[in-house]
Amino acid sequence: MTDAVLSLRGVGKDYGKRTAVGTIDLEVRRGEIFGLLGPNGAGKTTTISIACGVIAPTRGTVEIGGIALATAPRQAKQKLGLVPQDLAIYEELSATQNLRYFGALYGLRGAVLAERIAWALGAVGLAERAAEPVKQYSGGMKRRCNLAAGLLHRPELVILDEPTVGVDPQSRNHIFDTIRALRRDHGMTVVYVSHYMEEVEALCDRVAIVDRGAIVALGTIEELVAAHAGKGFELELAGDAAAARAAATAHGAVSGDGAVLRLVPTGALAPAIAAIEATGARITSLTSRGTNLEAAFLALTGHALRDGGP
C-alpha cells in the first residue's frame, strides 16, 4: 500500500471459456525496475493491457499511483506510459510527426511538447534522423522510436512490452541504457516485460515469473535463485525411459523428453532414484542444474523458457 506505483488485485481475463490470465496480484514499488518474465502466451501482454486500461479485466482491480483505474481512468492513465509490444507508430510519418501526435494525446502542446519531443528523441538517440519517415529506419531505430512515444509526458510508471524484439545488440544496449537513465534521472518506475531471461537478469530489481496466466514466483533475482534453483537435477537414462518417467512423477516435478529426465524432487533425491532404478532403467549421468534464474524458472514451471527465442 505504502509506495506502490502499480497494484493489481485479483486481476484476470477470460476469452469465452478460455482463461488467458487466471488471478494475478502484484505490487510494483516506486523507483524499481520490475520484470515480468514468461514464455510466449503466458499472459504477460494481457496482464499489462489490463494494467493500462487497454482491455477490460474479467475480474480484479487496478490502481496506478494510488488512483483506481476503473473509477478515474483519465487521471490514472496520465501517470502511465505504455510501450506496446507491436511497433505502434505510423511508418509513413517521421519520428517527430509521430511524437507530436502521441504527445498531444497526453495534453502536451506548444513549447512544452517541442521540448519533450527533443528530450525523448535525444534520450533514445534518434535526434539526428527525426525528420525521416519511420519506415526508413532499421528495426532497432523503430523500436527506439516506439519507446520514445511512451515517454513524452514523463510518466511515473513506464510499461515496456518486449521492447527489444527484433533488435540488434547495439540498439538493445541503447534501450537498456535509456531505461536505466529514466529511473536515475527522472525517478520513473519501470515494468519490463520479456521472454528473455538474460535481459531480465541484467536489468531488473525484482521479477515476477508468469506461466500459463499465473504468477508462479515473485522476488529479487537472488531470492528466486536461492529459493528455487539448485534443487533441480538432470538425469540421463538408459532402458525404459518412459517407465522411469512415470515412476519419478510420484517424487516431484518431471520434465524433459527422450533419454533426458529433469526432476525437481518434492523431498529428498534418494527415494526418487530408488524408484527410477526399480523400473529397470539405468541412470547413466546425474547433474545438478546450476544456480541461476534459468534453473529457478525450470524448477518452477517444469519447462524451459525458450521456445525458439532470438
Partner 1 sequence: MIVAAIRKDVWLLLRDRGALISLFALPIVFILAFGSMFKFGDGDHQPRVIPISYPAGSELGRKIQRAIDGTLGVAASYVPSDAEVRARVVSEAALAGIIVPADFDPAHGRRIELVLDLAGPIQIRGPLEGVLTGAVMRALAPVDLGALPAMVDVRSPPGLAQPLPEASGFQISVPGNAVLFGFFIALTTAMSFVGERRTGTWRRLLAAPVSRSAALLATLVPYYLVGLAQLGFLFGIGAGLFGMRVAGSLPALVVLSMCVSLCAVSLGLLFAAIATTEKQLGGVGSVMLLVMGLVGGCMFPRVAMPAFMKSIGLAVPHGWALDGYFDILVRQGTTIADVLPNIGALLAFAVGFLVIGLWRFRFDA
Ligand X SMILES: Nc1ncnc2c1ncn2[C@@H]1O[C@H](COP(=O)(O)OP(=O)(O)O)[C@@H](O)[C@H]1O
- Give the residues lining the site for partner 1 (CB under 8 A): 49, 52-56, 73-75, 77-78, 80, 82, 84-91, 102, 105-107, 149-150
d(C-alpha 105, C-alpha 118), whole Å: 17
292 binds, among partner 1, Mg ion, ligand X, none (CB under 5 to 8 A by kind): none
38 binds, among Mg ion, ligand X, partner 1, none (CB under 5 to 8 A by kind): ligand X
Judged by CB, which is closer to Mg ion: 40, or 71? 40
Q: Is the dihedral of CA 15, 16, 22, 26 positive or negative?
A: positive
Judged by CB, which is closer to partner 1: 75, or 220? 75
42 binds, among partner 1, ligand X, Mg ion, none (CB under 5 to 8 A by kind): ligand X
Closest CA to 235 of 219, 252, 220: 252
Is residue 46 a contact point for Mg ion (CB under 5 A)?
A: no
CB contact at 8 A, 182 and 268: no
d(C-alpha 177, C-alpha 262), whole Å: 37
Nearest distance in Å: CB 121, partner 1: 17
Closest CA to 146 of 186, 195, 90, 77: 90
Judged by CB, which is closer to partner 1: 56, or 202? 56
> Among the residues of the chain, which ranges form H helices?
44-51, 73-78, 95-105, 110-124, 139-148, 169-186, 197-203, 221-228, 241-248, 270-278, 293-301
Residues 11-30 that bind ligand X (CB under 6 A): 15, 18, 20
Residues 113-152 that bind Mg ion (CB under 5 A): none
d(C-alpha 72, C-alpha 61), whole Å: 12
Interacting residue ranges for Mg ion, rule: CB under 5 A: 44-45, 85
Interacting residue ranges for ligand X, rule: CB under 6 A: 15, 18, 20, 38, 40-46
